Amino acid sequence: MITELEPTTRAEEDELARTFVSIVATTRRHWAMRADRFLAAEAPIGVGIGYAALTRDGETVYEEDCTGERDPMTVAQAERLAQREPEREWRIHLVAQLEDRHYRREAAGRWVIYERGYGIS
């Protein structure tokens, strides 16, 4: 037996819209308070299974070696490269299985998250 759904009212649509806005606002506040908002100098640019890279003006400068034969670059090493060309746009991308984080260099030694996602899964 198939039943028809009753059309929604304007009040129900408004309530649904308010609910979505509330969820997005709560998520943004939560993400802004997370400890990983800034990258520490000793943090590796690596995720294991996934993709990790340092880019300069959108071009890849460093990409994680997924074979595990060498240690990943650290944020401090990336910072030394960025200090040579501070006028360029430097970014670090960490795309893991369950989460991805993207950081932008805003000032000397200050790498700030600008985008977060659900990873490659």
pLDDT (tens digit per residue) in 32-75: 556 678 999 999 999 988 999 999 999 999 999 876 668 899 99
Using DSSP's 3-state secondary structure scheme, residue 19 falls into helix
pLDDT on residue 40? 94
Distance CA 43, CA 110 (A): 13
> If you ran DSSP here, which 8-state letter would residue 8 be given?
P
pTM to 2 decimals?
0.71
CB atoms within 10 A of CB 76: 13
